[in-house]
C-alpha cells in the first residue's frame, strides 16, 4: 500500500493541473470544496461462484464479509469507494487524482484493483481438504493497475472508461480496458442501480490467471497459454436507509467471459455469480 501511494504521489507531483473537487452524481452527501470525508463500516453475507475449478465449492462460496468504505477528497486527490457496485466490498477502494473536471465530464489518474487473485494453498486450508486441480499451482496475485479514467455524467447515469497498465504496481503484466455504465432508478426510499460493464484483458493478463506454465504441469494440468479475453458484467444493486445512520444494501452481479479462457485446465466455467446482502453504518 505504501509503494502504491508513493508511486501515485510521484505522478501527481509531476502533473500541472488545477483540479476541482469530486462531483458525485445522485449521492446524498455534498462534499466541501477543499476537504471532505465520509466513512462507512458494515457487514454482509455473500454467495459467489468462481470460474476457477475448486474455488466455487459451497464451503468457499458462502462467507461473512466485513467492509470499511472510506471516501476522502482533498484538492483533487481522492480515495473513494464505488457505492454503485457490489464488488466494491471485495476489491476495495480506488485512489486517484483529478486532472480535468467539468460539469458533465471528468478525467482522472486512477489506481484500483481490477482482478482479485487467489492463493491455492490458502483456498485448500479454508476448505480443509485437498483440491487436486489446485495442488502445485502458483499464487495468482491481485491485479492492481494505474491508468486514466474518463467519466461522463448524465442526469441519472454515469459512464466511465478506464485504460490501465498493471505492471507498475503488481506482478501482473499487461493492460485492462474497463467500461462501465450505471443508471439509478429511485423508487420510494430505495436507490436501485442497474449496471452493465465490458472489460478487455490483454494476453499476458489472462494468461497469468488461467495459463499453465511448464513448472505447473501435472497429470491433471497440461501446459496452456491463454489469450486475451472479454468479460461482460450485468448487475443490480440497491440501497435502502434503515435509520439516520444505517443503510441496508443488496446486490446481484453476473459475469460472462469470452475467449479461449474455457480451455484452461483450471477453469470450470465461463460465468460467475455474486449475491450479497448486508448493512452499512455511516459515520
| Model confidence pLDDT, tens digit, residues 23-34 | 444 333 334 457
Residue 10 has pLDDT above 50, yes or no: no
User: Residue 257 belongs to what domain range?
Assistant: 2-282
Domain count, the chain: 1
- Number of Cβ within 10 Å of residue 135's Cβ equals 14
Give the residue, 31 or 79, on which the prediction is more confident: 79
Average pLDDT score, the chain = 84
Q: Which positions ≥6 away from 233 have C-beta within 8 Å? A: 180, 195, 196, 197, 198, 199, 253, 254, 255, 256
> Cα–Cα distance between 88 and 81 in angstroms, integer?
6
% of the chain residues with pLDDT over 90: 57
pLDDT band at 89 (very low <50, low <70, confident <90, very high): low
Among 34-38, 170-174, 191-195, whose mean pLDDT is lowest?
A: 34-38
Computed over its alpha carbons, how large is the radius of gyration of the chain? 20
The residue-averaged pLDDT of 220-236 equals 94
Range of lowest pLDDT (123-137, 156-170, 253-267): 123-137
Whether pLDDT at 18 is above 60: no
Question: 231, 255 in Cβ contact below 8 A?
Answer: yes
pLDDT at 63: 75
Question: What is the band of 56 on the pLDDT scale with cuts at 50, 70, 90?
Answer: low
pLDDT over 50 at 261, yes or no? yes
Residue 106 has pLDDT above 80, yes or no: yes
Residue 4 in this model has a pLDDT that exceeds 70: no
CA 23 to chain centre: 21
Residue 6 has pLDDT above 50, yes or no: no
User: Do residues 277 and 249 lie in contact, with contact meaning Cβ atoms separated by under 8 Å?
Assistant: yes
* Residue (of 158, 176, 159, 160) closest to 168 by Cα position: 176
pLDDT for 247: 93
pLDDT the model gives residue 32:
40
pLDDT surpasses 60 at 160: yes
Average pLDDT of the segment spanning 215-242: 94
Mean pLDDT of the region 179-199 = 95
Spatial distance between the Cα atoms of 112 and 161, rounded to a whole number of angstroms: 13
* pLDDT attached to residue 123: 86
Closest CA to 97 of 6, 177, 17: 17
Q: Find, among 30, 108, 11, 42, the residue nearest to 282 by Cα.
A: 42
pLDDT of residue 62: 63
What is the CATH number for 62?
Answer: 2.40.160.40
Question: In the chain, what percentage of residues exceed pLDDT 70?
Answer: 83
* C-alpha distances in Å from residue 275, one per residue of 49, 86, 178, 271: 9, 8, 22, 14
Q: What is the pLDDT of residue 80?
A: 87
Residues 6+ apart with CB under 8 A from 275: 46, 47, 48, 251, 252, 253
Residue 57 in this model has a pLDDT that exceeds 80: no
Amino acid at each position: 500500500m505504501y509503494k502504491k501511494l508513493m508511486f501515485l504521489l510521484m505522478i501527481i507531483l509531476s502533473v500541472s493541473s488545477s483540479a476541482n473537487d469530486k462531483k458525485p452524481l445522485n449521492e446524498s452527501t455534498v462534499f466541501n470544496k477543499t476537504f471532505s470525508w465520509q466513512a462507512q463500516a458494515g457487514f454482509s453475507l455473500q454467495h459467489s461462484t468462481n470460474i476457477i475449478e475448486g474455488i466455487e465449492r459451497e464451503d468457499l462460496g458462502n462467507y461473512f464479509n466485513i467492509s470499511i468504505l472510506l471516501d476522502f477528497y482533498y484538492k483533487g486527490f481522492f480515495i473513494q469507494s464505488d457505492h454503485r457496485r457490489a464488488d466494491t466490498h471485495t476489491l476495495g477502494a480506488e485512489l486517484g487524482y483529478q486532472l480535468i473536471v467539468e460539469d458533465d465530464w471528468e478525467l482522472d489518474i486512477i489506481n484500483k484493483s481490477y482482478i482479485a487473485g487467489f492463493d491455492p494453498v490458502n483456498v485448500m486450508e479454508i476448505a480443509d481438504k485437498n483440491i487436486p486441480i489446485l495442488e502445485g499451482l502458483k499464487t495468482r496475485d491481485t491485479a492492481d493497475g494505474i491508468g486514466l479514467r474518463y467519466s461522463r455524467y448524465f442526469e441519472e447515469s454515469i459512464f466511465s472508461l478506464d485504460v490501465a497498465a498493471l505492471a507498475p504496481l503488481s506482478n501482473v503484466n499487461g493492460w485492462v480496458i474497463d467500461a462501465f455504465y450505471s443508471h439509478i432508478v429511485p423508487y420510494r426510499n430505495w436507490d436501485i442501480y442497474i449496471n452493465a460493464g465490458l472489460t478487455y484483458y490483454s494476453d499476458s493478463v489472462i494468461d497469468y490467471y488461467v495459463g499453465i506454465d511448464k513448472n505447473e504441469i501435472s497429470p491433471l494440468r497440461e501446459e496452456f497459454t491463454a489469450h486475451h479475453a472479454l468479460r461482460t458484467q450485468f448487475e443490480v444493486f440497491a440501497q435502502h436507509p434503515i435509520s439516520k445512520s444505517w443503510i441496508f444494501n443488496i446486490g446481484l452481479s453476473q459475469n460472462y467471459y469470452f475467449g479461449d479462457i474455457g480451455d484452461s485446465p483450471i477453469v470450470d466455467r465461463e460465468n460467475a455469480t455474486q449475491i450479497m446482502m448486508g448493512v452499512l453504518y455511516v459515520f
